[in-house]
Chain A
Amino acid sequence: MSNHDNTPLSSAHHEEEDTPAVSSPKAGFLPIETNWFDRLFISVVIWVALSLLWFRFIEPMGLSIWISNAIALALAVLIISKG
């Protein structure tokens, strides 16, 4: 019982505390603190929503879905870098 702190799980715990965080939250133009994965997720959500709205309202007027994809990609770059 005396060497309780030498068990593998407790040492794992200590090591985890010393390890630097893989991704740290940052404050960009988004109203919440996000890491890069959050911003990627937001970008994908926006891309899907934009594509569906494009299919419904814009594509019947003759504009290709690739324009929507380009806009979504530009937004994704902006959100991931400055969000």
Chain B
Amino acid sequence: MQSNRLGWILLAPTLAILFFFGVLPFIYVVYVSFHQWNPFAADPTMIFNGADNFRKIVFDAEFLNSVGVTVLFVLFAVISELVVGYILAQAFMKEFPGKAIFRTIHTLPLIMAPIIVGSVWKLMMTPSIGIIPHYLNEWFGITVNIGTSPVAAFATIIIMDIWHWTPLVTLTLIAALVSLPPDPFEQAQIDGANKRQIFFHITVPMIAPAVVATVFIRLMDALRTVDEVWMLTGGGPGSATRFVGVHIFKEVFPKTNYGYGSTISVIVLYLTIVACWLLYVTMLAPRSKKD
């Protein structure tokens, strides 16, 4: 009993912080999502409108389009980051000249604020002054303009995200690979397993928890991407890169529509939780034993 109380006392600060900065704001957002509220209007009163915001959201073509664009972005970005991150992690497991310097340089994008990343990529992608459109045109004769081409804008954001976040995936996968015991690999080699069999039957199952945790983190981050996209394309051209985060931003700040913005936030949170849960169920959850 004594130790139980000690446990709760030790946990109390964390629980208090979590409650005040996590649970309470969440409850407040859910509360606001059932209201029509513009705090900067002549009448800033919150008006309860039941589930009308949720009725509106399922017919909101802009929101549905933003969900589709975001899902595409998440699929391309997270899968690419996982593949590139794994290849780099395997490379860093081997010794080669300049490994320490390369690893440091490779990790540098992680310490940059997303808004800076967006600004730098905007400079690099601006047709008149940017280095990337200049060399693409000079070397390959390709004209790229993210201000007019939806495909170019979308692809640039994916490449930017891969550049920014692959080091995180590499670091977590290195940690997972380093902690693997050598015995199963040696036994498999003695038994005559080839590299492909070792990868799919030993490496992947053993690093699956780390992979899933990494995908969780990247999935949650990618679903709420705002600043990089806002700086690079502002959600355009048209609505080609109007991700849900950007959509919420446009709904809440320029339009000051806090009620509907909260509704979108709640739905995005719901989609994020469901995506993570499905991933957990598919990859890690213990199967039910039926007799």
A residues near B, CB below 8 A? 8-9, 11-12, 15, 25, 27-28, 30-34, 41, 45, 48-49, 51-52, 55-56, 59, 65
Contacts and interface: CB of A to CB of B under 8 A. Distances in A.
A54 B148 CA distance: 38
B290 A27 contact: yes
A30 B3 contact: no
Given A27-B288, A32-B287, A8 B6 contact: yes
B4 A55 contact: no
Q: By CB atoms of chain B within 10 A, which of A9, A32, A34, A45 has the most?
A: A32
A12 B274 contact: no
B7 to A, nearest CB: 6
Q: Top 4 A-B pairs ranked by shortest CB distance?
A: A12-B3, A56-B58, A27-B288, A32-B285
Given A27-B289, A31-B287, A33-B288, A12 B6 contact: yes
Nearest to A14: B3
B18 interface: no
A81 B174 CA distance: 43
A56 B286 contact: no
Size category of the B interface is: 20 to 34
Interface in B1-39: 2-4, 6-7
B55 interface: yes
Main secondary structure of the interface of B (DSSP, over half): helix
Which of B4, B51, B55, B277 has the largest count of A CB atoms less than 10 A from its CB? B55
Given A8-B3, A8-B6, A55 B285 contact: no
A55 B58 contact: yes
30 contacts: A8-B6, A9-B3, A12-B3, A12-B6, A12-B7, A15-B4, A25-B286, A27-B288, A28-B288, A31-B287, A32-B281, A32-B286, A32-B287, A32-B288, A33-B285, A33-B286, A33-B288, A34-B288, A41-B277, A45-B273, A51-B51, A51-B54, A52-B54, A55-B51, A55-B55, A55-B58, A56-B58, A56-B59, A59-B55, A65-B51
A51 B34 CA distance: 14
B270 interface: yes
Contacts of A59: 55
Interface of B: 2-4, 6-7, 51, 54-55, 57-59, 267, 270, 273-274, 277, 281, 285-290
Contacts of B55: 55, 59
Contacts of A56: 58-59
Residue of B6, B7, B281, B288 most packed against chain A (CB within 10 A): B288
Contact of A30 (B4, B54, B288): B288
Contact of B58 (A41, A45, A52): A52
Nearest to A60: B59
Contacts of B59: 56
Contacts of A31: 287-288
Given A55-B51, A55-B58, A56-B58, A15 B3 contact: yes
Contacts of A49: 274
A11 B290 CA distance: 38
Contacts of B274: 45, 49
